[in-house]
Chains A and B, each alone.
Chain A
Amino acid sequence: MEFDKILVPVTGTQADDEATRLACRLTKKNKGKIWAVYVITIKRSLPLDAEIEPEIRKAEGILDHIASVAEEEDCEVETDLLQAREAGPTIVDEAAEREVDLILMGVTYKRHFGQFSLGSVVPYVLKNAPCRVILYHQYTP
């Protein structure tokens, strides 16, 4: 499989690193482009353009880390920090706008009320994505 434009939504988990490495390998041959995006979700109690400093710092830290992971792979990523009410629709919109041919997401094993859960963002993206999607599931023994 080869791709020219890949969108990698990141959240700051270990799975992000592996997803980024995988994206690098998948674009290497075609010298494709990779965007890593982090979405800051803003609570309704705040206006959408609120600047939450700690969140922004955290997100910038994560994106810097992703850039360094890509560098190790000899690959360049463009990073983007987005602010929205909900992550799912934002990722889908971003993918459509940049006309990517793949969304590559890393997911970790999560439990919600004692049961395995993918959360709400991953199912939303799978359902609404305008392109192919690869989920990288981090194995945590």
Chain B
Amino acid sequence: MYIIIIGGGKVGYYLGRALLDEGHEILVVEKDPNRNEFICGELGSVCIRGDGCEVATLTEVGTGRADMFIAVTGDDEDNLVACQVAKHKFNVPRTIARISNPQNETIFKKLGIDVTVSSTNIILENIEEEVPTHPLTHLLTIKDKGLEIVEVKIPPDSTTIGKPVKELSLPPETVLSLIIRKQRKPIVPTADTILQAEDQIIAATTPESEEALRTALRGS
């Protein structure tokens, strides 16, 4: 694949290096001449100096034949415009933008960027996974269906312990798919499965029902 990367900072450089190792043809576009020289010195002739939002630069680097376009500068607005130019002027099939402000995720989606990567959100997700007392962990998001797979732990003081699943007031569009118990095989819950302390429950739900699901499983 031919992959164009806008921004030759740390993210752009390591991303380029990893993609090169995987055998892709890459090109990094970077404004700063020193950075440009550094990348060419390390990775070979795969970096050119220029503004990745400018149509002229993008024409020169052959954006028209790119399979993927990734904008990873430190500025959200630059990443947005670079991706939009690639998408609308050069019809690049897949555009990916790095974003710093997590609020921009929805805006970018609405404005036609295929994929956004928010380092802030990724770090947040990792914290959720690392902190055991955190009530609800996101495991997976199925974007086009608006669904997510989450994990909820039942703390020892939960009011739902000892109750069967059928007595829980689960929100709509929510399915409990698996219960993981200490030192036991995972079980698929039925209506009569009784909740125990320290149960880890894997469920499919929607972002809107997340809070209701947490309350239903842990009691208030």
A interface residues with partner B (beta carbon < 8 Å): 43-48, 84-86, 89
The segment from B58-66, B148-156, B163-171, B181-189 that touches chain A is B58-66
Q: Mark B48-63, 1 if CB is under 8 A from A, else 0.
A: 1000000000011110
B60 touches A45 (CB 8 A): yes
**Can you give 13 A-B contacts (C-beta < 8 A)?**
A43-B60, A43-B62, A44-B27, A44-B60, A44-B61, A44-B62, A45-B59, A45-B60, A45-B64, A46-B62, A47-B2, A47-B25, A48-B25
Chain B residue with Cβ nearest A88 = B45
Chain A residue with Cβ nearest B62 = A45
B interface residues with partner A (beta carbon < 8 Å): 2, 25, 27, 44-45, 48, 59-62, 64-65
A89 touches B60 (CB 8 A): no
CB distance from B33 to the nearest CB of A (A): 13
Chain A residue with Cβ nearest B29 = A44
5 smallest beta-carbon distances between A and B, as pairs: A45-B62, A86-B45, A44-B62, A44-B61, A85-B45
Q: Which residues of B contact A43 (CB under 8 A)?
A: 60, 62
Q: Which residues of B contact A86 (CB under 8 A)?
A: 45
CB distance from B48 to the nearest CB of A (A): 7
Q: Which residues of A contact B45 (CB under 8 A)?
A: 84-86, 89
Q: Which residues of B contact A47 (CB under 8 A)?
A: 2, 25, 65
CB distance from A121 to the nearest CB of B (A): 12
Bound complex: CA A43 to CA B64 (Å): 13
CB distance from B25 to the nearest CB of A (A): 7
Further contacts, 18 of them, CB under 8 A, given A44-B61, A45-B60:
A43-B60, A43-B62, A44-B48, A44-B60, A44-B62, A45-B59, A45-B61, A45-B62, A45-B64, A45-B65, A46-B62, A47-B2, A47-B25, A48-B25, A84-B45, A86-B45, A89-B44, A89-B45
Chain A residue with Cβ nearest B59 = A45
Bound complex: CA A44 to CA B25 (Å): 11
Bound complex: CA A84 to CA B64 (Å): 20
Q: Which residues of B contact A48 (CB under 8 A)?
A: 25
Q: Which residues of A contact B60 (CB under 8 A)?
A: 43-45
Chain B residue with Cβ nearest A85 = B45
Q: Which residues of A contact B65 (CB under 8 A)?
A: 45-47
Bound complex: CA A48 to CA B65 (Å): 12
CB distance from B30 to the nearest CB of A (A): 14
CB distance from B115 to the nearest CB of A (A): 23
Bound complex: CA A17 to CA B64 (Å): 40
Bound complex: CA A80 to CA B33 (Å): 32
Bound complex: CA A86 to CA B47 (Å): 11
